[in-house]
């Protein structure tokens, strides 16, 4: 009795993308839509006959997608997360660090 074998393709290194954005970057777009929805509720204005809260809630995230696509072009995976983490962590500047220039001869 022969054993039936079915090929299974497993590529764990494949990036999960949606609209050429990483899955994690879509949280930025969704968060931006939520913030713009809250901001738009306080603005009782119109833009060319369309209420400004609708423009902010839908227009800003739709415009943010191509901007993120252009910003992330050629960048490694997780670039936005690493950029945010770098800006939120405190930077320590110390006068007692070792010099970056050589103080002694490297080769004799």
Nearest to 20 by CA among 101, 74, 91, 97: 74
- Domain annotation covers residue 5: no
pTM of the model: 0.61
Per-residue model confidence as pLDDT tens digits over 18-31 = 777 888 888 888 99
Asked if the structure places residue 103 within a domain, the reply is no
Per-residue pLDDT band at 39 (split at 50, 70, 90): confident
In a domain, 100, yes or no: no
In a domain, 70, yes or no: yes
Torsion angle (degrees, nearest 10) of CA 70, 73, 79, 80 = 10
Residue 10 lies in a domain: no
Domain count, the chain: 1
Q: How confident is the model at residue 95 (pLDDT cuts 50, 70, 90)?
A: low
Q: Is residue 22 domain-resident?
A: yes
Q: Specify whether the CB–CB gap between 83 and 77 falls below 8 A.
A: no
């Amino acid at each position: 009795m022969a054993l039936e074998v079915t090929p299974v393709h497993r590529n764990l290194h494949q990036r999960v993308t949606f609209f050429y954005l990483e899955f994690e970057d879509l949280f930025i777009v969704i968060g931006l839509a939520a913030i713009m929805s809250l901001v738009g509720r306080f603005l009782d204005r119109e833009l060319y006959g369309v209420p400004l809260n609708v423009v902010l809630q839908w227009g800003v995230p739709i415009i943010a997608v191509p901007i993120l696509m252009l910003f992330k072009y050629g960048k490694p995976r997780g670039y936005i997360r690493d950029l945010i983490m770098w800006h939120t962590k405190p930077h320590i500047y110390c006068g007692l660090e070792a010099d970056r220039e050589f103080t002694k001869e490297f080769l004799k």
